[in-house]
Amino acid sequence: MRLRELFDGLGEGQADPDVTTMALDSRTVTAGTLFCCVPGFEADGHDFAVAAIEQGAVALLTERRLDLGVAEVVVDDVRASLAPAAARLNGNPTAALEMVGITGTNGKTTSAFLTRALLEAGGKQTGLLGSVKQIVGRRPEPSFRTTPEAIDLQRCFAAMLAAGDDACTMEVSSHAIRLHRVDAIDWDVAIFTNLSYEHLDFHEDMEDYFDAKASLFRDTAAQAVINIDDAYGRRLADEISGAITVGVESDDAQLQAKSVRSDARSTRFTLDGLELTVPLPGQFNLLNALGAVAAARSLGVDDAAIATGLAGAELAPGRFEPINEGQGFAVIVDYAHTPDALANVLKTARQISSGRVIVLFGAGGDRDATRRPLMGAAASADADLIFLTSDNPRSEDPLKIIDQIAEGIDQAGPPVEIVVDRAEAISVAIAAAEPDDVLLIAGRGHERWQELAGGERIEFEDATAARKALRGRAA
């Protein structure tokens, strides 16, 4: 495609090379590439323009003139220009896909999996993009971030179309919204799950965080689906006309779950007289299911297919995932890494436990430290025994992180044990569990690598470590 076709308003006489691909990283440039000079948090793409040209870049997207002998498109904001150009280069694929975007602090992954299951049950081959994995043409692929860069997103949408996908469900992070990664997507449905304390190392405050999430709904004609059990969701629903509201506790929700019955493996409920089962416990998962049902209905999936698809939905790994090696107590791995998410999963653990609730968790290094004592307070309120350990400490001292979590724990509350090494902590916690207890291993969920000091990354999965410890205990 010619450069002039990607950008409106190129001046007369401007060089107009044929562009075959786009890139942000000069190391990935090949012949025919438009190299996009993004000013990053740690490096400025303009500094790598010469290297990109040497690799075969035929044009540059920049925020200042560089005069390096190739075509240049100078814009005020390179990031804001990426998505529209990438969409055009790939033939605007989301115009042909039914697109469901899911945003919120917690529940995005589970909601994306559940929504995909309902659309598939309704006969729509559906791709998935999220933090756990992506699915293109029913083939799973690794995922490296919650919401990829705009260039990668648009390529992926084009690949979905080529592979026969009719729809796509995807997680949408606040970072992706603020950094324009999800611009130029033709949304059909946008789901708001909830909003709680998170990402204040990126956003100025909770108001800025809410504003980022809300902009997904303000700036699109998509059908909005909003959880109004959440205070921020109710505020958003008051602003967005025509929203479908969902809730469990809110009597004014358009879709309200009733006659709710839950056990350790599932939640059964009625909705408009329809009997439904979601294969997950907990009210927070019930709210995720209601959002998925609303999205599927708005895209034409009938209730019979919804009932079948919900009951048989594939579950996201690391989201209230049971680990069973024949032990007489429950072990659950969950991604809960915010105060609100930890409180929710602990409440669910309490509901299914006839013994104690034991929780093991830490907090990520080089991230918002103000939430650490709030995590401690959430654990203190609902657990009988707490194990504090490392999460992904990164460049920080793990013991310093643990001390900050402990500041929020009630000194008159449950006993606390500190075991810095996470694998050892999991083994010690499993050794301490008694029949009918529930052990919740929280914070990392599906993550396959642990990030340590000095940039070191080691292969480590909570579920794998738990299984190893359970087998060791049995032996």
Tens digit of each residue's pLDDT (9 = 90 or more) over 349-391: 999 999 999 999 999 999 989 999 999 999 999 999 999 999 9
Say what the pLDDT of residue 145 is: 77
- Has residue 328 got a pLDDT over 90? yes
The mean per-residue pLDDT over the stretch 415-436 comes to: 98
Which ranges in the chain are annotated with CATH 3.40.1390.10?
A: 3-78
Pair 261, 311: CB distance under 8 Å: no
Using CA atoms, how far apart are residues 307 and 396, in angstroms rounded to an integer?
Answer: 47
- On whether the 93-311 domain is CATH 3.40.1190.10, my answer is yes
Q: What is the pLDDT of residues 224-267, one digit of tens each?
A: 999 999 999 999 999 999 999 999 999 999 999 999 998 888 99
- Has residue 406 got a pLDDT over 90? yes
- Residue by residue, DSSP assigns 443-464 as S-TT--EEE-GGG-EEE--HHH
> How many CA atoms does the CB half-sphere of 228 hold within 13 Å?
21
Say what the pLDDT of residue 464 is: 98
Pair 200, 209: CB distance under 8 Å: yes
Assign domain 321-474 to its CATH superfamily.
Mur ligase, C-terminal domain (3.90.190.20)
Model confidence at 221, in pLDDT bands (50, 70, 90)? confident
- Has residue 409 got a pLDDT over 70? yes
Q: What is the pLDDT of residues 143-190, one digit of tens each?
A: 877 889 999 999 999 999 999 999 999 999 999 999 999 999 999 999
- Has residue 22 got a pLDDT over 80? yes
Model confidence at 326, in pLDDT bands (50, 70, 90)? very high
* Strands (E) located in 50-187: 57-62, 71-74, 98-103, 126-129, 133-136, 139-142, 167-171
How far lies 222's CA from each of 41, 118, 158, 240, 299, in Å? 31, 19, 20, 11, 11
Q: What is the pLDDT of residues 287-296, one digit of tens each?
A: 999 999 999 9
Q: Nearest to residue 264, comparing CAs of 383, 355, 338, 340?
A: 355
How far lies 33's CA from each of 21, 36, 38, 174, 341, in Å? 5, 9, 15, 29, 43
3-78: CATH number: 3.40.1390.10
Which ranges in the chain are annotated with CATH 3.40.1190.10?
A: 93-311
The mean per-residue pLDDT over the stretch 133-150 comes to: 90
Say what the pLDDT of residue 9 is: 73
Pair 414, 445: CB distance under 8 Å: no
Answer with the residue of higher pLDDT: 304 or 11.
304
Which ranges in the chain are annotated with CATH 3.90.190.20?
A: 321-474
**What is the pTM (predicted TM-score) of this model?**
0.92
Q: Nearest to residue 16, comparing CAs of 93, 71, 82?
A: 71
Rounded (to 5) percent helix, strand, coil in the chain:
35, 20, 40
357: helix, strand or coil? strand
